[in-house]
Amino acid sequence: MKEFPTDFIWGSATSSYQIEGAAEEDGKGPSIWDAFSHIPGRVKNNEHGDVACDHYHRMEEDVQMMKALGLHAYRFSISWPRILPDGTTKQINQAGIDFYNRLINELLANGIEPWITLYHWDLPLALEMEKDGWLNKDIADSFADYARVCFQYFGDRVKNWITINEPWVISMLGYGQGIFAPGRVSNSEPYLAGHHIILAHAKAAAVYREEFAHQGGKIGITNNCDWREPLTDSELDQAAAQRALEFYLAWFTDPIYKGSYPQVMVDRLGDRLPTFTAEEKLLVQGSSDFFGLNHYTTMLASDANGEILEGNVYGNGGISEDQDVNLHVDPTWKKTEMGWAIVPWGCQKLLEWIHHRYDGPNIVITENGGAFPDEMKDGVVDDQDRLAYVKGYLGACHDAMENGVQLKGYMLWSLMDNFEWASGYAKRFGIHYVDFETLKRTPKASALWYREVIRRNGLKV
Ligand code: PNW
């Protein structure tokens, strides 16, 4: 048995746009994902989150599902425009406040700790149309104002706050490759958006620490990162893998833990990478109480030497050239339905890389999981592939902890099948199966297994 510490936090995660539905109900304003998903061609089969899992109307049932699992923690996000319909505090939507109050109270009444993400990509559309969203520095203040509203209304009961989910995805997929909202394609905007994301996070954290210290909670940010394994042990490939990790994760975590961007980004990006003033550096450094990490996969990195090869995972767009790295997947590795390779040892290596680079921070894995081609047969979904994925990654977490990594919790993505962004409903990440016709939820084999892992506080090996 691989046993976990007695205070280890076992959780599961979702996000507002992916599960709530009720897109135009009870005074909610539109978000960039409402708009983006309704542009023909942006999402597979032109699907959208208008109804999604209808969690907005099935919240009590969903909390019972979490209780049956024995979850310690539930990570969900607040839809910014459900609370502030135009993104500003001009109007606070009481019905939105009421919904999240009911959810929080229901969780606590069932012994489940709420972990709230303030921003999981559903930016109020008005801020995009009128202010250019994350490209405008003013967004940092808008976000801090929104965060303050959340601390005011929910902070008496909520003690775990995640400001922003996955700055890399917001910047690179939203402003670089354009495959996520707001759908822009550029090789400079990602770095501007990323800069404002860091400032927004830091301002919200400062509001929490300065005005709400008496609430006694913790606030941090969640970044995503894959592992980058050098293709060969040549010095050039080793340096390429390191550079790829710096362009992915250290882009956001170096400013927060060290006060500045990685030197390699400064050198390679020139004036496309904004700079922090002395005052901003102080605001940003030390602004996260824990290291939130979403991790799914691993790629092989090799030095590109100016030549981006056919088949590079990120194509010829800015990402590959900027870091001068070729990324590939070993053809012998098994993959999930997203095409993401299943490499548990990459998870261990990444955790140890973070541990060493940032002096042993408290890490929480706020997402890990996989999409698999689930089939419901006689009322049962026997997702042995997902179960094996999670078992492998949890084993890797345990090994990293034995090597000193301060991992404090693990949240499985996702509690239930949901709207998988540009992939629509075709990609299922849930440990509960959702029938999108009837919206009925059914625990998969992985859910029944995860319940036992939580109950035993460990993995049978
Ligand atoms: C994360 N990538 O998204 C998100 O936080 C979730 O909302 C999402 O459902 C989950 O992972 C599964 O996709 C990512 O291309 C999207 O590297 C894309 C990437 C990584 C994470």
Q: Using most ligand atoms within 8 A of CB, pick from 115, 163, 224, 320 the residue to mutate for ligand 1.
A: 224
Taking CA atoms only, the protein residue closest to ligand 1 atom 18 is 169
Dihedral in degrees, nearest 10, Cα atoms 300, 305, 306, 309: -40
How far, in Å, from the CA of 355 to the mean position of ligand 1? 23
Q: Across residues 249-270, what is the average pLDDT?
A: 98
How far, in Å, from the CA of 97 to the mean position of ligand 1? 27
Taking CA atoms only, the protein residue closest to ligand 1 atom 14 is 169
pTM over 0.85: yes
**pLDDT at 318 exceeding the cut of 90:** no
How far, in Å, from the CA of 413 to the mean position of ligand 1? 10
Picking from 309, 301, 370, 369, the residue whose alpha carbon sits closest to that of residue 329 is: 301
Taking CA atoms only, the protein residue closest to ligand 1 atom 9 is 420
How far, in Å, from the CA of 295 to the mean position of ligand 1? 9
How far, in Å, from the CA of 90 to the mean position of ligand 1? 32
How far, in Å, from the CA of 396 to the mean position of ligand 1? 20
Taking CA atoms only, the protein residue closest to ligand 1 atom 15 is 169
Q: Across residues 142-170, what is the average pLDDT?
A: 99
Task: Report the nearest atom of ligand 1 relative to the CA of 165.
Answer: 5
Task: Report the nearest atom of ligand 1 relative to the CA of 420.
Answer: 9
**pLDDT at 316 exceeding the cut of 70:** no
pLDDT at 37: 99
Which pLDDT band, with edges at 50, 70 and 90, does 438 fall under? very high
- Over pLDDT 70: what percentage of the chain? 100
Q: What is the C-alpha separation between 386 and 60, in angstroms, rounded?
A: 26
Question: Do 416 and 14 touch, CB atoms closer than 8 A?
Answer: yes
Q: What is the C-alpha separation between 287 and 262, in angstroms, rounded?
A: 17
Q: Across residues 308-323, what is the average pLDDT?
A: 81
**pLDDT at 111 exceeding the cut of 90:** yes
Strands 325-328 and 298-303: antiparallel
Question: Do 219 and 208 touch, CB atoms closer than 8 A?
Answer: yes
Question: Do 347 and 381 touch, CB atoms closer than 8 A?
Answer: no
Task: Report the nearest atom of ligand 1 relative to the CA of 413.
Answer: 10
**pLDDT at 343 exceeding the cut of 70:** yes
Residue 395, helix vs strand vs coil: helix
Q: Which residues sit with their C-beta closer than 6 Å to ligand 1? A: 15, 18, 165-166, 169, 224, 294, 367, 413, 420, 429
Side chain identity at residue 45, one-letter code = N
Taking CA atoms only, the protein residue closest to ligand 1 atom 19 is 169
Q: Using most ligand atoms within 8 A of CB, pick from 169, 226, 386, 417 the residue to mutate for ligand 1.
A: 169
The C-alpha angle 177, 15, 368, rounded to 5 degrees, equals 75
How far, in Å, from the CA of 372 to the mean position of ligand 1? 15
Task: Report the nearest atom of ligand 1 relative to the CA of 226.
Answer: 17
Q: Across residues 380-385, what is the average pLDDT?
A: 98
How far, in Å, from the CA of 170 to the mean position of ligand 1? 10
What residue ranges do the domains of the chain occupy? Answer: 2-459
Task: Report the nearest atom of ligand 1 relative to the CA of 418.
Answer: 9
pLDDT at 346: 99
Task: Write the DSSP symbol of residue 186.
Answer: -
Q: Across residues 106-115, what is the average pLDDT?
A: 99
pLDDT at 313: 82
User: pLDDT tens digits, residue range 400-428?
Assistant: 999 999 999 999 999 999 999 999 999 99
- Over pLDDT 90: what percentage of the chain? 97
Task: Report the nearest atom of ligand 1 relative to the CA of 338.
Answer: 13
Q: What DSSP string runs through 262-294? A: -HHHHHHHGGGS----HHHHHHHTT--SSEEEE
Rounded to the nearest 10 degrees, the angle between the axes of helix 445-456 and helix 384-402 is 30
For the chain, give the mean pLDDT: 98
Residue 432, helix vs strand vs coil: strand
**pLDDT at 314 exceeding the cut of 90:** no
Which pLDDT band, with edges at 50, 70 and 90, does 319 fall under? confident
Question: What are the residue numbers of the active site?
Answer: 166, 367
Task: Write the DSSP symbol of residue 335.
Answer: B
What is the CATH number assigned to the segment(s) 2-459?
Answer: 3.20.20.80
Side chain identity at residue 257, one-letter code = Y
Q: Using most ligand atoms within 8 A of CB, pick from 17, 166, 419 the residue to mutate for ligand 1.
A: 166
Taking CA atoms only, the protein residue closest to ligand 1 atom 3 is 169
Taking CA atoms only, the protein residue closest to ligand 1 atom 7 is 15
Q: Across residues 316-323, what is the average pLDDT?
A: 82
pLDDT at 308: 87
pLDDT at 317: 62
Task: Report the nearest atom of ligand 1 relative to the CA of 369.
Answer: 12
**pLDDT at 297 exceeding the cut of 70:** yes
pLDDT at 415: 99
Which pLDDT band, with edges at 50, 70 and 90, does 310 fall under? confident
| 430 CA to centre of own chain | 15
